């Protein structure tokens, strides 16, 4: 498998951004199967950017908004868009998008998207790449449980879109469209052997840890024998707003 990573800081001039993101990934250098993963600054005109990319690219692109990205050559990018292109003759890719996800239908939509992407791939995936929508009312456990139910034992990579909450949006991208409420997936098969490493960061701040003793969904009411707001005050975080 080969990969190409392009970064643009043209967050306002979208035709220039598209040109920079697709630089060096013309059909002549791509192999049999190709897919692109786009991360773009959340304050860009993301719907227009993904639409222009879909018109110019010869391969499917999915992705999400992000307040920042990191890549291997230039490091940290906090106002930019990044396109990673994977291409291979001996690997296969399939992608899918869910319908609009709500707290009531999240399990059903995960099942449908996983079934669709696995059927399209035509074999058991070696890994899944998943970008769920940011819906505050949905516990992230729902997605982990859903992937374990639909694709047991298959590694899942991915994460959530991010934004600055200052007039911009959390969005996922698929097929030239941007969505606030849809899960996007791609599955990879063929000549792949995923390898993972996990590292933990520890500190001496164990005295700040508390057990959640009362909660409902994503809302925490009490930790230990304290209200959650009292706990936040104790560790020095502002709670007035």
- Residue 228, pLDDT > 80, answer yes
Long-range contacts of 71-77 (CB under 8 A, 24+ apart): 71/5, 71/7, 72/5, 73/5, 74/7, 77/7, 77/9
* pLDDT tens digits, 157-207: 999 999 988 788 899 999 999 999 999 999 999 999 988 887 877 666 556
- Residue 85, pLDDT > 80, answer yes
pTM exceeds 0.75 for this model: yes
| pLDDT at position 234 | 87
CA torsion angle 40 116 154 160 (round to 10): 30
* pLDDT tens digits, 112-141: 999 999 999 999 999 999 999 999 899 999
> Where residue 239 falls among pLDDT bands split at 50, 70, 90?
confident
For β-strands 33-41 and 61-66, DSSP reports them as parallel
Percentage, residues of the chain above pLDDT 90: 73
Give the mean model confidence (pLDDT) for residues 144-151.
94
For the chain, the straight-line distance linking the first and the last C-alpha, in angstroms and rounded, comes to 49
User: What average pLDDT does the chain have?
Assistant: 91
Give the mean model confidence (pLDDT) for residues 40-69.
94
- Residue 210, pLDDT > 90, answer no
For residue 107, give the H/E element and its range. Answer: helix 106-121
A 10 A CB-CB count for 190 gives: 17
Q: Are 201 and 77 in contact (CB under 8 A)?
A: no
Phi, psi of 128 (to 5 degrees): -115, 145
Give the mean model confidence (pLDDT) for residues 69-87.
87
3-class state of residue 123 by DSSP:
coil
Structural domain boundaries of the chain?
2-190, 204-241
For residue 54, give the H/E element and its range. Answer: helix 46-56
Q: Are 17 and 23 in contact (CB under 8 A)?
A: no
| pLDDT at position 77 | 83
Percentage, residues of the chain above pLDDT 70: 98
**Displacement of CA 130 from its chain's centroid (Å):** 6
3-class state of residue 79 by DSSP:
coil
* pLDDT tens digits, 93-105: 999 999 999 999 9
> Where residue 151 falls among pLDDT bands split at 50, 70, 90?
very high
Q: How many residues does the chain have?
A: 241
Regarding predicted confidence, which is higher, 78 or 20?
A: 20
| pLDDT at position 60 | 95
């Amino acid at each position: 498998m080969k990969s190409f990573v392009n970064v643009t800081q043209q967050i306002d001039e979208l035709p220039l951004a598209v040109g920079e993101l697709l630089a060096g990934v013309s059909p002549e250098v791509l192999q049999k199967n190709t897919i692109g993963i786009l991360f773009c600054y959340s304050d860009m005109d993301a719907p227009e950017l993904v639409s222009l990319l879909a018109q110019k690219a010869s391969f499917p692109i999915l992705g999400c908004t992000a307040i920042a990205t990191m890549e291997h050559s230039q490091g940290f990018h906090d106002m930019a868009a990044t396109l990673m292109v994977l291409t291979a003759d001996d690997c296969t890719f399939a992608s899918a998008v869910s319908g609009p996800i709500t707290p009531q239908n999240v399990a059903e939509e995960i099942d449908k998207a996983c079934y669709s992407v696995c059927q399209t791939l035509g074999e058991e995936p070696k890994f899944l790449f998943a970008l769920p929508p940011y819906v505050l009312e949905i516990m992230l456990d729902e997605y982990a449980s859903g992937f374990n139910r639909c694709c047991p034992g298959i590694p899942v990579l991915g994460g959530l879109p991010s934004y600055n909450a200052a007039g911009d949006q959390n969005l996922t991208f698929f097929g030239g469209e941007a969505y606030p409420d849809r899960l996007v997936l791609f599955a990879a098969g063929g000549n792949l052997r995923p390898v993972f490493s996990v590292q933990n960061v520890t500190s001496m701040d164990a005295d700040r840890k508390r057990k959640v003793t009362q909660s409902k969904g994503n809302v925490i009411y009490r930790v230990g024998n304290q209200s959650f707001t009292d706990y936040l005050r104790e560790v020095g975080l502002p709670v007035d707003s």
